[in-house]
Structure formats: structure tokens, C-alpha cells
Chain A
Amino acid sequence: MTRTSARASGRRLEPRMLTGAQIVLECLTRERVSHVFGYPGGAILPVYDVMPAYPIHHVLARHEQGAVHMADGFARAGGGVGVAMATSGPGATNMVTGIATAMMDSSPLVCITGQVSSSLIGSDAFQETDITGVTLPITKHNYLVTEADEIAPALREAFYIARSGRPGPVLVDITKDAQQGSCSFDWEAAEPKPPGYRPDHRPRAAEVRHALDLINGSARPVILLGHGVILGEAENLVKAFAERTTIPVAMTLLGIGAFPGSHPLNLGMMGLHGEAWVNEAVQQADLLIALGMRFDDRVTGKLAEFAPGARKIHVEIDPAEVNKNVPVDVGLIGDVRDVLEALLPGVTPNDHAAWLAHIDGLRGHATARSIQGFDDDGHLYAAHAIHDLWQATRGRALVVTDVGQHQMWEAQYYRHESTRSLITSGGLGPMGFAVPAAIGAKLARPDADVWAIVGDGGFQMTMAELGTMVQEGVKVNIAIINNGCLGMVRQLQEFFYGARYHATPLVNPDFVTLASAYGIRGIRVTERAGVAAAVAAAAAHDGPVLLDIRVESGDAVYPMVAAGAGLDQMIRRPAQEATR
């Protein structure tokens, strides 16, 4: 019985007998999964064997970490659940970094792994790894499934848990005998109802009133916008809220894009490498309204000195995040969307003119020291390259960044106007994220102009995925910000380890030649004028293009909050003469 004929006949044909492997694919199909990112092996082969009969496209990665990052990029770009698949043992353990990445950034994934047959579990059989044990602390939930008739309930519940509440990765480990066994399949009966799981929190009316009092009574408020606004699809409500109250908006790295970059109320990114005026405004505020962010140590600086004069309202879907790092005056637990809907009718308009003028003053002072003001002195700075990439793509690219200096420069100099236009790993920060996540993002949003901005170090961690790009015919453009070193670590050595540059210089391959081995067009850029031209060439080219942008190797990301210091204790960029 094929799916199409069952549909066509319109009769209810269930329950019917299927193998466990077929049930996996029936479930994926009914969850409207279009792409599975994976890598086969013995313990998952029954599933791979029946996959071609289903309307699901399998993307063969070159490493299971890449497969999970692809699923993650797919989820973050498209808003659905990403699905990754791997075999037992090494296939499953290779997924770990990708899963931890998704966990830290609340990305909805379902990861399916094959497992040795249930009779062999516990015997240290070939390629047996206790992957539910390994991933216990880095998944939202996980399942070990040993019977065919447990597959549908576990998978349905996995999708439900991955996407509801605070999203996250869920792993389903299925033994080979469960895949091979048969049972009757009944989708309806497998409806998920985990009894202890309650994702649907709502704030209490008294708390909403308390929050409104604080909002309406504040003179120096700042909104702190985080990833939760994007996950909760509350971008428009945040805009309405900010505009009605005239409250300026600072954002975390993962909040970028949720509020238009050119909006007059947009302050920019806060935190370790946030703009100086943003951190100063946060520190001087009398009220912080945190929306879907978790006061990560990268955004607070020294906790004891964080925003000392501010009352704090925390709007957050995960109760465990409230009062975790920063004690707050009001916690509004619920979906950002619902909470903002509850708050909006009660806010009184206020122009906050004096406060905004004060922040403008802070901004003017800091801009004078920005690298943007520096003349082109023949050196190619990464910040300039990214700024020019922003202009050449008219600010409309979907950018996926890796981890390091280039990631921070991107956040500072690429101005994002629309939501889900920056995908980056904020919580775990695994090098090697960008290229595979960009592949996933492009498959979720085929019309987007997808750019991976990646360091020369991180690129080499997952550059094997160039093969996936070519095999899948995915047009992702790659800009390697090539500074010949592990720049972010070098920067730490410069500031905190007496400039002893041990193990940070890189001897790199010729990336243009490497690209050509894959049939990918490579362009080397060595001067500022070449950036826009290369971006134009990439836009005109039919397939993927790789830019090897050779930038200054000794540069550092500024401003930078000094180690263990308060958020406004920042090390600033020296004046131009002093740089070199």
C-alpha cells in the first residue's frame, strides 16, 4: 500500500501493518518533513532502504556534525523542525557537537539514530554507543526505542517537544530490530500527550499590571531583545511595543534581525563585543525589559555590576531562566507574543526625548573611534570587507556566520533589516558551523541570497561540506575572512597572555585552488576595492562562489569588555596611527 494510493482513495486505511523503518518515514512525511540531513550506516540502513518510496529528500552530508548543523540552519532559516539522521556508534557521536549547538540556541531538531539490535544492548557490540546517555544533558529530551510499535508515539512526541515551548533538539535512538519489526501503524492513536510536559505558561494578571507600572513609570528604559522574539515570531509586536513607548532596543547576538537595523530606535548589539553606547545605555538604564533573552554571561559582563540602577522585567518562556543569572523585579513567563499582546493595551505613549538624546550623545562619541571612520590605507580590514559585503548585497543577504572575530565583525558591520537574516551560533560557538548551516538555510529558503561568512580556521573544520554543496547543487556563497590565524584566540593572547602567539598562526591551503577541485568558482580578494567586485561576480555566477578575502592578521575586535569587568568597562579601538 503506497501513501499516494491511500490518499487518493480517501478511505481511512489505518491501522495497517508496516515495518518500523516504514513507520519512521510515514511519521516524517506526516510531520511535513521535506529534507533529512544525514549519513547512512549499518544500524540505520533499514530506514535508508525504504526512504526512496517517500517524498523526502535526503541530503548526504560529509560528516554527521555537518548534517546536524545543516538541519539546524534549515530550522533557523525556515522556522520548522530540522531533521538529521545517522547510524549508531560513530555516526551518533559525530552528531554531538551539532546537538549541543542546537540545545544552547534553542533550535528545534529531531535527530534520529540507528542503534544495535535490542538483544545486543549492553554487550559493547560493534558500533554500540549509549547515545541517549551521551546526549542526556544536551537534548531537550531523548528516547531509546526498542520496539516497532513505540516508534510512532516516540517520533510524534519528539516533534511536538522539539517545536513547542522553548524549542530544542530531541534525539530518537531506534534499534535495528525495531526498524525491521512490523506492527500496525496508527497515526491518530500516536498523538503526543506527555503528562508531565507543560510548555504553555501564561503570566499572571497581577504580574502584567506590575510590569506595566514599571514600564509606564520609567524614564530611562531599554528593551533587551533576544532569540526568543524570533522563535516566538513576535517581531511585529516588539516593533509596535517599541514604537508606542519610544523605548530603544538593544539586542543580543541571536536577536539581530528581529528588529530592523536601520530603525531609529535600534541601538545595536549589546554585550562583550557590543557597541560601546549600547552597553553604556544598558548600564545607565532605570528599566530593562528583557524579551526572550537569557542574560548570558556574554551580554551581562560582571554580574554584580550589571545595570545597577535598573529595575528588570523578564519576559521568558522557560521558567528556569527567570532569576537564574540576574534577579528580576517581574518575571512574565510565557510566549513573548502572548505577553506582549497582554502588555500592549496598557502602555502609555511617552517620547523619552531626554533619554534618547542622551544615548545619541553616547553614540556620537563612540562612532568617532569606529574603524568605519578610518581611511583606506592600503590594508584590508575585515570590518571594511564585511561592511562592503553588506553594501554590495544591499543588506538583503541571509548571512550565516562561523565563530571568531569575523562573527563579531559581521554582527557589528552587517546591518540586518529582516528577521532570520542572520544565523549564528551564540551559545556553544562551535567553529565549523557556518558552511553546513548555510547549506541547510539555503535549502529552507531557496530564494534567499545565502552567504556563509567564515574564518580560515573554522572553514577548515567542515570544509568537506563543499562536497555536499556541489552534490546538492546548492548555491551558497562563502566569504572566508582569511587572516592567517585563529584570530579570536590570538586576540585573547594579545590582551591577556603577553602577546605570546602559541598555536594560533595557521598555514592554510590555497582556498581558491581548493574550491576549484570541487568545481566551485574561487576569487581571491586582497584589497578593499576588490570586495564589491567579487560580490557582484558571485551574484552573477550560477553556482556557489568562494571568496578568499585576505585581511589584516593582527587586527582585534573592539570594543571589548575587559575580562571580569562591568559591561561599560570596555577596551576601545586605538586611534588609527597607533594600529600599525
Chain B
Amino acid sequence: MSSTFVVYVEDKPGVLNRVASLFRRRAFNIESLTVGHTDTPGVSRMTIVVGTDRDGARKVEAHLYKLVNVLRVDDVTSTPAVFRDLAMIKVQASAETRSHIMQLVDVYRARIVDVAPDSLMVEVTGTEDKIDSLLDVLRPYGVLEAVRTGRVAMARGAARTPRVRPASAALRGPMPRIPREPAASGPVQLTA
């Protein structure tokens, strides 16, 4: 079983290392990790997929909160959320197979982003399942190269990025409070 977290962190050197190191140290296996900027200066956002059950997920969340640079952790495994993976697939394409491939690409709502004499490059976004399935149907034509970003996730509804000062000023001036999710997303669910 796997769990998906959206983790907001301060955008500072070494923070990715701290997060990744935590998973190694606590013997949790990262299945996928993506990281990028958010709309808020000084805040980065990670989507982390971890091979663990509900119990383990609770521990992961609590341990993440112990990292000083972690601003907020949302476990979106079973909350309404949109999950996406992006893949680019380079596939062999001869004069005969080219149109078959283009039809498949259409069915999957993927796009051709590069055309070469003997190959096509396909870009596809969707759930992991959809991309696995497209890869399966393209494989017989000869997949030359494939790359996937790993899962990114966003909860549905109005939850937003926490706001902080830009990293360079983070240690100096007064800091606005980080909006916390309601109690339900606190570090650990405790009541029996």
C-alpha cells in the first residue's frame, strides 16, 4: 500500500536532503518524490509517495513535522485530490506504424511533441495507471526512451499554500503565522 503526502517546506539549501534523509533513517521507502516552487516566495512544495500503510503514514507525518523547515504536511491519500504524473515517451515510428501510433495517442488524450524521421515523442499527463497503460500499448512499436516525473498531487477544494517570508529574510523580520489546517490535519490522530 502507498500513501501520498503534500509537504510544504521552506525553500532553503539542504531541505530536500533533510526530508529524503528522514525517510531513509526511519526505513520508509520513497516511491516517488517531486519538488518545485509554489506561488508563494520562500515556499517549496513536495509530493511524496511512500510505500506504507495508514499506521506508517501517521508516523511519517509526525516525523516530517519534527523537521524545523517543514511548514505543513497534508496526507492526501484518502482525501479528495487530483493526482497527476507526466511522461514523455519516444517511440519508433515507421511510415506504416506512424498513423497507428497517432490514433493511440489520440485515444489517450496525449500529444505528439516531436517528430523525427524514425520516431515520435509523445507527451502524456494523467494518473500512473493511464500512463502505464499507454506505455503498454506503445511498447510493441519499440519504446526508445521514456521519462516520468512521478506523482504530483493537489487536494480539491480551497486549501492553499502556507505563506512565509522569502527564505533570505526568513531568519530576520517578524514572521506571519502559518495558516494551519483544521485540527484533523494535525500531526497525529489520537483519540481511540
CA–CA, A154 and B12, complex, Å? 13
Asked if A324 contacts B59 (CB within 8 A), the reply is yes
CB atoms of A320 and B174 under 8 A apart: no
Q: Flag if A319 contacts B171 (CB, 8 Å).
A: no
B76 at the interface (CB under 8 A from A): no
B62 at the interface (CB under 8 A from A): yes
Given contacts A132-B14, A195-B178, A196-B10, whether A206 and B191 have CB atoms under 8 Å apart is: yes
Task: Say whether A527 faces chain B, with CB atoms less than 8 Å apart.
Answer: no
Residues of B within 8 A of A136 (CB): 17-18, 21
Given contacts A210-B191, A319-B188, A324-B59, is CB(A195)–CB(B171) below 8 Å?
Answer: no
Quick one: which of A196, A207, A318 contacts B190, CB cutoff 8 A?
A207
A195 — which chain B residues lie within 8 A by C-beta? Answer: 10, 71, 162, 164-165, 170, 175-176, 178
A194 within 8 A of B: yes
A157 touches B67 (CB 8 A): no
Say which size band chain A's interface belongs to: 35 or more
Digitize B39-67: 1 where CB-to-A-CB distance is under 8 Å, 0 elsewhere. Answer: 00000000000000001001100110111
Partner of B183, one of A154, A193, A204, A329: A204
Contacting residue for A196 out of B178, B183, B187, CB 8 A: B178
CA distance A370 to B187 in the complex (A): 45
User: Which residues on B sit within 8 Å (CB–CB) of A322?
Assistant: 62, 188, 190
Contact call B67/A154, Cβ cutoff below 8 A: no
Question: How would residues 177 to 212 of chain A score, 1 for a CB under 8 Å from any chain B CB and 0 otherwise?
Answer: 000000000000111111111100100101100100
Interface of A is mostly: mixed
Across the interface, which residues of A come within 8 angstroms of B171, CB to CB?
Answer: 150, 153-154, 157, 190, 192
Contacts of A154 in B (CB 8 A): 171
User: Which residues of chain B come closer than 8 Å to A320, judged between CB atoms?
Assistant: 59, 62-63, 65-66, 187-188
Residues from chain A with Cβ under 8 Å of B68 in the complex: 140-141, 161, 194, 196-197
Near B by CB (< 8 A), chain A positions 348-387 give none
- State whether the Cβ of B192 lies closer than 8 Å to any Cβ in chain A: yes
B1-18 interface with A by 8 A CB criterion? 9-10, 13-14, 17-18
Chain B: minimal CB distance from A158 (Å): 10
A196 x B191 contact (CB < 8 A): no
Min Cβ gap B65→A in Å is: 7
Residues of A that sit less than 8 Å from B by CB: 132-133, 136-137, 140-141, 144, 150, 153-154, 157, 161, 189-198, 201, 204, 206-207, 210, 318-320, 322-324, 329-331, 333
